Structure 1
Amino acid sequence: MSNPVIGVPVVGVPVADQDKAIEFYTEVFGFTTRMDAPLPQLGSRWIVLAPAGAGAEATGIALIQARDGLPTGVETGIRLAVADAAAKHAELIERGVPVGELLRWPGTPPMFTATDQDGNGLEIIEQ
C-alpha cells in the first residue's frame, strides 16, 4: 500500500447550534477548543475540541453544523474515557444530562450512555 491511513485525528458530531455545543462539551466534559475557524462556504465554522491536556495526536471531536442529510440525534459511536464512571454518572445526573444506567459487567469496565445537547449518543467508559 503506497499511502496508508496514518491516524484518526477527528470524528464529527452533528450539532444544531455550534456555540451551545462548545459550551456543553467544554463545561460538561472539560474539553478545550483546538480549532475554531470560519467556513463561509458552508455558513458555519470548523470547530475541533479535545480533552483538556490531550496531546496533538489525540483524536478530537469536530462539531459539525447539522444540515439536510446530516441530522442531530444520532448514535455517534464515540467512547469517552473517565477515571471514575460512577462519579461522572452522578455528576451528569446532577447537571441534568440524560444518562443511561451505570453498567457493571464482570470483566469489563463500568460504563453508561449519555446524550449531548442535541440528543447525540455517547458512551462513557472508566479507564
Structure 2
Amino acid sequence: MTGRESPTYAPPMNITHASFVTLPVADQDRALRFYTDVLGFEITADLDMPQGRWLQVAPKGAQTVFTLSGPGMGDFEPGSTRGIMLVTTDVDADCARLAEAGTAVQGPDDLPWGRMATFRDPDGNGLMLLTEARHQEREEGDA
C-alpha cells in the first residue's frame, strides 16, 4: 500500500453520529457559564450521579453534545482536549463576541477550507471556529 489507499475491511458499521464529546474541566459551574453565556450553548443534561455531576451542553439543535466532565467523572485532565471544530455562519462576529467576553482569540484567518479562528475555554481546552468556504462564497454572492 502507498499510504493513501484504504485497507479492505469487513462491511461498514452502522454508526450515524457522535453522541457526546468530553471536555474535562476543573470547575463545572465556571465552564457552564462560559459555554452558555459566552458561546450561547443550551443545557441538555444536569444530573447528580453517584460519581458526580453529569453536565452536558450543546449548540441549539446540535446532534452532538459536550459533556463538561468535572472531578470524579473519569480520569480526565482539565484542559487536555484539543481540536474541537465549531462551525459558525459568521466567524468574525463570533470572534468579536469572544474578545468582548475576555477570551483570547487567534485569527480569524483565511484558509482554503474557510475562515478560521482558535481559542481556549477557561480550562484550556482548545476549540476552533470555522465559517466554511462554501458558506463564505454564498454570502459574497449575495452582496
Question: Normalization by structure 2: what TM-score?
Answer: 0.75
The Cα of 1:112 is off from its aligned counterpart by: 0.6
Q: Given that residues 24 and 81 in structure 2 are in contact (C-alpha distance below 8 angstroms), is that contact kept between their aligned partners in structure 1?
A: no
Runs of 4+ in 1 over 6 A off after TM superposition: none
Listed as ranges, the gaps of 5+ residues in structure 1 are: none
* More relative contact order, 1 or 2 (CA 8 Å, 6+ apart): 1
Q: What is the aligned partner in structure 2 of residue 80 from structure 1?
A: 86
> What amino acid does structure 1 have at the position aligned with 2:31?
A
Q: Deviations over 1:62-93 (max 9, x none)?
A: 10114684111224321111111111112211
Q: Deviations over 1:1-20 (max 9, x none)?
A: 69743421111000001111
Q: How many residues end up aligned between the 2 structures?
A: 121
Offset, 1:29: 0.8
Q: Where does the alignment leave 5 or more consecutive residues of structure 2 unmatched?
A: 1-10, 133-143
Is it true that 1:23 corresponds to 2:28 in the alignment? Answer: no
3-state SS of 1:45 partner: strand
Fraction of identical pairs, as percent: 34
Task: Name the Cα RMSD after superposition.
Answer: 2.1
- Please give the TM-score of this superposition, normalised by the length of structure 1: 0.84
Larger Rg: 2
Paired residues of 1:13 and 1:76 also in contact (CA < 8 A): no
Of 22, 33, 49, 2:57 maps to 49
